[in-house]
């Protein structure tokens, strides 16, 4: 079964062709970083306009790279939410137009389920239960999975998302948007133990997260530094901040893994690209006897391969656009209704 996936929930226009939920034949991602960078965050109206301009080229390119035409596609998958309403509408409208034109079934996918499946989609031997951590620009959610369809949220952030913390801290230091990659780069030259930033809620009994106290602590630390900030100060604070985020995410995840007696750990979402988080999870997982499954770089940040992969598992929910419209859901919760 060849699935064409379409993703436009935020500032990436993406399309992919995935076979049987596991084999990625193409995965095209057009990032809008250059458009939003100067504003220090995503400008929704600009995001929608850019999606309109390039979504057809992105889909065409995904088909071309897969060596296919629309006639080879069996199912269309599109992100239904969560995300920016204007951006979602572009992807959904385009996908529905394809469904009409080529008389193909279509299925709306939860973007967060996509992030959750990204690392596991091509693995045969995933041992459940799995503890999954979604860490993106908008979400930090800990999920216990019994299989692809059966999962429950066991913890989430009570304030900022992990990626949002990276973005805000980068902004405070004048490093631009998005914050994750640039903080990762600067942190390589800094000492992660130089400043002991607070680890929000790390000792709580529950599995929730909090990053706003950390963000405020970074702000106070920055105010103490001589201005303009030296490269040394930026590197040090970037490394110490990153260490605090990684430490909290890993500690909570291991604690939850013990509590729920899972076999496997996985992560997804943009922050899963972070090399220190990946290394730490690998080493802690090995130490505690869990298998760790990490997604490749391009499958961490927003992409359409994860949407197409999830659609394969949700194919029973597919219908024709002419029979029923897909409703964009900006606040689509992770739970199936
Ligand atoms: O999943 P994603 O592409 O979009 C959302 O669904 O939100 O995640 C984007 C987020 C941004 O906050 C970005 O700063 C963060 O992922 N990110 C990183 C890294 N690369 C991207 N955070 C930490 N380290 C990275 N290397
Ligand atoms: Zn995302």
Interval 93-115: pLDDT, tens? 999 999 999 999 999 999 999 99
Angle between helices 179-187 and 275-288 (to 10 degrees): 70
Report whether residue 81 contacts ligand 1, using a CB cutoff of 6 Å: no
- Give the rounded distance of the alpha carbon of 190 from its chain centre: 26
What pLDDT sits at residue 17? 98
User: Phi/psi of residue 155, each to 5°?
Assistant: -170, 155
CA of 328 to the centre of ligand 1 (A): 23
Q: Tokens for 202?
A: 């790390």
What pLDDT sits at residue 323? 97
**Signed CA dihedral, 63, 67, 73, 79: sign only:** negative
Average pLDDT over residues 321-333: 97
CA of 178 to the centre of ligand 2 (A): 13
Report whether residue 301 contacts ligand 1, using a CB cutoff of 6 Å: yes
Average pLDDT over residues 282-290: 98
What pLDDT sits at residue 63? 98
Check pLDDT > 70 for residue 333: yes
Average pLDDT over residues 32-55: 95
The b-or-e profile of 219-234 (16+ CB within 10 A means b, else e) is: eebbeeeeeeeeeebb
CA-closest residue to ligand 1 atom 23:
180
Average pLDDT over residues 214-228: 96
For the stretch 46-75, pLDDT in tens is 999 999 999 999 999 999 999 999 999 999
The b-or-e profile of 90-120 (16+ CB within 10 A means b, else e) is: bbbbbbbebbeeeebbbbbbbbbbbbbbbbb
- Residue-averaged pLDDT of the chain: 96
Q: Calculate Rg over the CA atoms of the chain.
A: 20
pLDDT band at 337 (very low <50, low <70, confident <90, very high): very low
CA of 112 to the centre of ligand 2 (A): 7
Check pLDDT > 60 for residue 158: yes
Report whether residue 5 contacts ligand 1, using a CB cutoff of 6 Å: no
Average pLDDT over residues 205-225: 96
* Measured distance CA(34)–CA(44) in Å, rounded: 14
CA of 56 to the centre of ligand 2 (A): 21
What pLDDT sits at residue 336? 52
- Give the rounded distance of the alpha carbon of 150 from its chain centre: 20
Specify which residues 76 forms β-bridges with: 4, 106
User: 315 exposed, middle or buried (CB, 10 Å; 0-12, 13-18, 19+)?
Assistant: middle
CA-closest residue to ligand 1 atom 7:
137
Report whether residue 295 contacts ligand 1, using a CB cutoff of 6 Å: no
Long-range contacts of 164-168 (CB under 8 A, 24+ apart): 164/137, 164/138, 164/211, 165/211, 165/214, 165/215, 165/241, 165/245, 166/242, 166/245, 166/271, 167/41, 167/137, 168/215
């Amino acid at each position: 079964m060849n699935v064409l996936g379409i993703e436009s929930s935020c500032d990436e226009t993406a399309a992919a062709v995935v076979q049987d939920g596991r084999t990625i034949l193409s995965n095209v991602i057009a990032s809008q970083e250059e458009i939003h960078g100067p504003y220090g965050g995503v400008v929704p109206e600009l995001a929608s306009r850019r999606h309109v301009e390039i979504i057809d080229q992105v889909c065409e390119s995904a088909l071309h790279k897969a060596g296919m035409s629309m006639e080879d596609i069996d199912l269309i998958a599109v992100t239904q939410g969560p995300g920016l309403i204007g951006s979602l509408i572009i992807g959904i409208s385009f996908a529905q137009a394809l469904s009409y034109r080529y008389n193909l079934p279509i299925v709306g996918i939860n973007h967060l389920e996509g992030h959750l499946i990204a690392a596991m989609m091509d693995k045969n031997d995933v041992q459940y239960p799995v503890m999954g951590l979604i860490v993106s620009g908008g979400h930090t959610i800990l999920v216990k999975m019994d299989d692809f369809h059966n999962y429950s949220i066991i913890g989430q952030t009570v304030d900022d998302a992990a990626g949002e913390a990276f973005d805000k801290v980068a902004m405070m230091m004048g490093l631009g948007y998005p914050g994750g990659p640039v903080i990762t780069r600067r942190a390589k030259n800094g000492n992660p133990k130089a400043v002991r930033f607070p680890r929000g809620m790390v000792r709580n009994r529950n599995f929730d997260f909090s990053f706003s106290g950390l963000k405020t602590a970074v702000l106070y630390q920055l105010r103490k530094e001589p201005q303009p900030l030296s490269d040394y100060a930026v590197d040090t604070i970037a490394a110490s901040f990153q260490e605090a985020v990684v430490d909290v995410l890993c500690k909570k995840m291991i604690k939850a893994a013990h509590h729920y007696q899972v076999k496997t750990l996985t992560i997804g979402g943009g922050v899963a690209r972070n090399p220190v988080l990946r290394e730490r999870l690998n080493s802690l997982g090995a130490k505690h006897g869990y298998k760790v499954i990490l997604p490749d770089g391009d499958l961490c940040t927003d992409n359409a391969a994860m949407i197409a992969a999830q659609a394969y598992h949700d194919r029973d929910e597919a219908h024709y656009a002419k029979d029923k419209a897909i409703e964009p859901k900006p606040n689509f919760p992770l739970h199936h209704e």
